[in-house]
Structure 1
Amino acid sequence: MRSRIIAAVAAILLAIVGVVLLTGYVVGADQRAMAGMKTTSVLVVTGPVKAGTPAKDLAELVEPKVLPAKAVAPGALTSLEDVAGKVATADLVAGEQLLANRFDAPEKEKDKDAVEVPEDMQEISIMLESQRVVGSTITAGETVGVFTTYHDSPKPTHQVLHQALVTRVEVGLPPSNAAPEADPEAEEGAEPEGPAVPEGNVLVTLALSAPDAEVLVWSQEIGTIWLSREPEGTPRGGTRTVTEGVLFR
């Protein structure tokens, strides 16, 4: 009888030791896997967040999580201070990374800073690639020149509008679930060279008279558009319609 009890106790002890060793191996494997790659700590949502929730109220609804750098989404936040004074623009769910493009200024503040549309003008928007909008550096309140290239031969280019008032600029971002591509040749901890290049398209809203709005729509439909920064007082003379014949004559 005593030998059976001893055998049972020994079996229990062996089982406990086995569980401990297995747990230690799994934890160690995770640590070894993470040690072989660059990691980043980002904020992850731990509970449902409603659109309109101020960033200052999220302290209990997010937590830091260490992820492989290649799994970190563009714009992932490491601190709520980066979106201080802003509110969530969409519902957030548990498990997703907290992204900067999910936050914006409260509507009342956006309205306060909005550019006033002159009387008898209407607002109209166009979507352009970032390089067509002076590298996405145009801001609301500035005035721009509008250049159009007609697609059909001989593909003429001409400045069709002068000093159009910009009332809103929205810079497009990559999808929230997109992960940056890892550079196998980049040294760990190395700083990127040069300024960051804007990604995505840019939605630019202009305040125009009805005739100028017609010109803009026609230009967008039949060709391509470039915007220049054209402040008040910029000379308007000297433009001409450029074609291959004009350029290489």
Structure 2
Amino acid sequence: MKTRLIGAILAVVLAVIGTVVLTGYVRTADARASAGAEMVSVYVVKEAIPAGTKAEDAVANFEVKEIPALAAVKGRVTKLAQLDGTVSDVALVPGEQLLRNRWVAPEDRDNSDVALPDGMQELSIALPVEHVVGGSVKAGDTVGIVVSATLKMPPDDKEIQFTEQIFHKVLVLDVQKGSTTQAKEAAAAADDATYDTIMVTLARPTDDVQKIVWGQEFGSVWLTLEPEEADESGSRAIDGGKVFTL
């Protein structure tokens, strides 16, 4: 009985010693890892900030952190003065770095949400920046929707690639941008903002929603900037035989 008790005590002591040694090793490893890394100061969000918040009202919700330079995001805010007179364009979450392209002039934010027409639905799709006219599409614009996909044609299920502009002058309700690739939109470029994905919210009736989702799921979707005066004629299904003269 005494032998078992002594063995149990020894096991607990060894476990405690092992934990202390492991913790010390991890801390030492972290110190070694950061010792040679260049560190920079960044602003991060402490608590959630709703979209439309004035920068002056959100200042108390920012804090400065030291992080390795490799982890610092391009286009981050380096001086709070860069946000003077702006409001948050999207909701910001705790821990994210403060990015200049997430803050806009109040008048731009006021125009960023467009009312949904009666009888239509809202549909959001995420597209690469090059599929959205280089990022120049904004809320209130009308766009054309082009779908490319591979279809199996009867009777032998031969695969043929088709492209067609399936809708014209579709109303854009909202646009939100992600991060990492240089923007072409003039205002964003002026702020040195970067992004690679754009979430576009469109207004369409039920049948059109289904077709857009099909294109996004089984092919690829491209948007054109198509103002009211744009010519809609000439839209048809295109395959390689129509593109190239063989």
Q: Say yes or no: TM over 0.5.
A: yes
Q: CA deviation at 1:74?
A: 2.2
CA contact (8 A) 2:139 2:175 kept: yes
What is residue 129 of structure 2 aligned with on the other side?
Answer: 130
Q: Identify the residue that residue 119 of structure 1 maps to in structure 2.
A: 118
Counterpart residue type for residue 223 of structure 1: G
The 1:150/1:105 distance shift into structure 2, 3 A limit, reads same
1:232 is aligned to 2:238: no
Q: Which residues of 2 match residues 191-206 of structure 1 at below 5 A?
A: 198-206=194-202
* C-alpha contact (below 8 Å) 1:145/1:161 kept by paired residues: yes
Give matches, 1:168-247, under 5 Å.
168-174=174-180, 198-247=194-243
Alpha-carbon offset, residue 110 of structure 1: 4.9
**CA shift in 2, pair 1:197/1:133, >3 Å:** farther
Q: What corresponds to 2:81 in structure 1?
A: 81
Q: Which residue identity is paired with 1:140? A: A
Please state how far the C-alpha of 1:217 moved relative to its aligned partner: 1.8
Structure-1 separation of matches of 2:61 and 2:193: 32
Q: Secondary structure at the match of 1:160?
A: strand
Aligned length, in residue pairs: 188
Q: Which has the larger radius of gyration?
A: 1
Q: Work out whether residues 89 and 104 of structure 1, in 8 Å CA contact, stay in contact via their aligned partners in 2.
A: no
Kindly indicate whether the alpha-carbon contact (under 8 Å) linking 1:116 and 1:167 is maintained by their aligned counterparts in 2.
yes
With normalisation by structure 1, the TM-score equals: 0.60
Tell me if structure 1 keeps the 8 A contact 2:42–2:67.
Answer: no
Residues 142-180 of structure 1 deviation map (CA, whole Å, 9 limit, x = unaligned)? 111111112232111111101111111111125xxxxxx
Q: Per the alignment, in what secondary structure is the counterpart of residue 159 of structure 1?
A: strand
Take 1:105 and 1:131, find their aligned partners in 2: how far apart are those partners? 25
1:162 matched to 2:164? The reply is no
Alpha-carbon distance between aligned partners in 2 of 1:50 and 1:217, rounded to the nearest angstrom: 31
Using a 3 Å threshold, how does the CA distance of structure 1 residues 97 and 220 change in structure 2: closer, same or farther? closer
Aligned to 2:185: none
1:148 has 2:147 as partner: yes
Across the aligned residues of Structure 1 and Structure 2, the Cα RMSD in angstroms comes to 3.6
Query: What amino acid sits opposite 1:151 in the alignment?
Result: T
What does 1:60-71 correspond to in 2, within 5 Å? 70-71=70-71
**Could you list the runs of 5+ residues in structure 1 that have no partner in the other structure?**
1-32, 175-194
Q: Which TM-score applies when normalising by structure 2?
A: 0.61
Cα distance change on mapping 1:213 and 1:201 into 2, 3 Å: same
